[in-house]
Structure 1
Amino acid sequence: MPSPASDSNNPVLRLDSVSLGYGDFTVLRDISLEVSRGQVVAMMGGSGSGKTTLLRAATGQLRARAGVVTLFDQDLAHTDARQLQSLRQRMGVLFQQGALFTDLNVFENVAFPLREHATLKPADMLARVLNTLEAVGLRCAAHLKVAEISGGMARRVALARAVILEPELVLYDEPFAGLDPISLGITARLIRSLSDRLGCASVVITHDIAESFAIADQVYLVGQGCIKAHGTPATLHASTDPYVQQFLNGHPDGPVPFEYPSTPAFESWLSRQGVAQ
């Protein structure tokens, strides 16, 4: 449940003019976005565009170089380790590879957060985990080992584990990667239905257009170190911006070049190879 100090009308996650990077390299500049309760927000962009960097900022793993990251009304720059851990307990994360415990069966994987953060009687634990597994269509797979289920089923188990504590914010890191068309469609519908049922905010980090546009309330398109466009799926579809059109239609030519550009560093490296050009 939200803390008493949390205003339910405020965004769950907010970035104001945020810059993010590693070492001497700035990945993203002047990023502003909001995610509210009940919303599914798709964060889209090509490989290496900075989508996962945004996820790390949202979880407090990466501090902003400029601007403000606000999570549950708290500025992450002014939180200590204990406060950050408390905020993270109000979140659920679906990792790109699922990150299931291979030595535990399906039931114990989903029950793990409950055993760590809740005190329930065995009967209540059983009912809650089975109900959550039923929501993802896997109630009768509770006894199976991870090695006995398909990749698509494993993703659904990971999804059940991410929402078992009924978080206020769920972050999905490439939830559609590597799934067959049926599993992909099932996963997309589950993200939407679970967000609606729990009333939680959901951020989907992805580059899959059709599935994301089918479930998202808002879309942010990240590229070239900034947010290139944002709005409803219909707004982005109607955009005439060359970058947006290239991304949505997969055109090989456009603002994003096929060939990596020549740089002074490359020319310097090439000159040291001692090969006549």
Structure 2
Amino acid sequence: MNPEASSAADSLLLFKDVTLGYGDFTVLAGIDIDVRRGQVVAMMGGSGSGKTTLLRAATGQILPKQGTVTAFGENIAAADNNKLRALRQRMGVLFQQGALFTDLNVFENVAFPLREHTQVSEAQIIERVLDKLNAVGLRAAAHLSISEISGGMARRVALARAIVLEPELILYDEPFAGLDPISLGITAQLIRGLTDTLNCASVLITHDVAESFAIADQVYMVGQGKLLAHGRPDDLSSSADPYIRQFLNGEPDGPIAFHYPETPAFTAWLQRQGGKP
């Protein structure tokens, strides 16, 4: 096989010179990202840097102002509703809060995508759901209600639901947020192990440095309206860039200032309040 053709086939999500925003406001510009089969890719940045905007672009919730976002070789902006639905069915999404159905038990939460999007038999549903629950260590919790499980377990149930259709691309929105150290480590290793087992690609929208760097093949860091850096975790760890150093070390001040910058609008408002500049 032509190496270039093989490389293109392995590219499941591709951003080329992408500009993203809402209305007249631009969030990110000049973004180039390549997510390949078998990779765990971390998209990192501070709060408000545009990480979630990247996830919305990947799923076609927003379209680029410039450039192209390609999923499985298809330009998302050119996809009609049926094509977009088909592309999304090849993706799994783990939302930050899990988004589990509280009136369904663990088993039925994981079974939901199978009942909604396939015509498989009840026996096949039972087999697939228990298999995926086993993969996240919760096979014996299938009968429990959502109110009976911990937050860390709920995140794992949501992960089982995200992979039950065996997607080629899994998108994780802040997968480590709010987890205790044990649950955090378990979730990180599950993401790495499932990526390898399913031979899919996993994209983490995150600001958790330690756990992401431990499992990621590639890291993309956004901030200040652009792509600041990308490479292997070791590459970024050795970077001398002030913003990257500030983010990785958790420093309160640096290129991203602790104090919100004063603007003419603030000065005018302050004067109207009778305050001093």
TM normalised by structure 2 equals 0.96
In structure 1, what is the Cα distance between the partners aligned to 2:144 and 2:271?
A: 59
Unaligned stretches of 5+ residues in structure 1: 1-5
In structure 2, what is the Cα distance between the partners aligned to 1:199 and 1:131?
A: 17
Shift of 1:8: 6.5
Unaligned stretches of 5+ residues in structure 2: 1-5
Shift of 1:7: 8.1
2:113 corresponds in structure 1 to: 113
**2:145 is the counterpart of 1:145:** yes
In structure 2, what is the Cα distance between the partners aligned to 1:276 and 1:200?
A: 58
In structure 1, what is the Cα distance between the partners aligned to 2:195 and 2:276?
A: 60
Once the two structures are superposed, the pairs formed by residues 34-113 of structure 1 within 5 Å of their partners are: 34-113=34-113
**Which residue identity is paired with 1:75?**
N
1:156 corresponds in structure 2 to: 156
**Which residue identity is paired with 1:262?**
E
112-121 or 164-173, which moves further after superposition?
112-121
Shift of 1:271: 2.1
1:244 corresponds in structure 2 to: 244
Q: Is the 8 A contact 1:10 1:73 kept in 2?
A: no
Q: Is the 8 A contact 2:56 2:62 kept in 1?
A: yes
2:127 corresponds in structure 1 to: 127
Q: Is the 8 A contact 1:35 1:41 kept in 2?
A: yes
From the superposition, tell whether residues 118 and 193 of structure 1 become closer, same or farther in structure 2 (CA, over 3 Å): same
Shift of 1:33: 0.6
In structure 1, what is the Cα distance between the partners aligned to 2:8 and 2:229?
A: 27
**Which residue identity is paired with 2:67?**
G
Once the two structures are superposed, the pairs formed by residues 224-243 of structure 1 within 5 Å of their partners are: 224-243=224-243
1:21 corresponds in structure 2 to: 21
SS at match of 2:9: coil
In structure 1, what is the Cα distance between the partners aligned to 2:217 and 2:49?
A: 21
**2:232 is the counterpart of 1:223:** no
Q: Identity of counterpart residues, as a percentage?
A: 69
Q: Is the 8 A contact 2:270 2:276 kept in 1?
A: no
In structure 2, what is the Cα distance between the partners aligned to 1:9 and 1:23?
A: 34
2:173 corresponds in structure 1 to: 173
Shift of 1:272: 2.0
In structure 2, what is the Cα distance between the partners aligned to 1:38 and 1:276?
A: 57
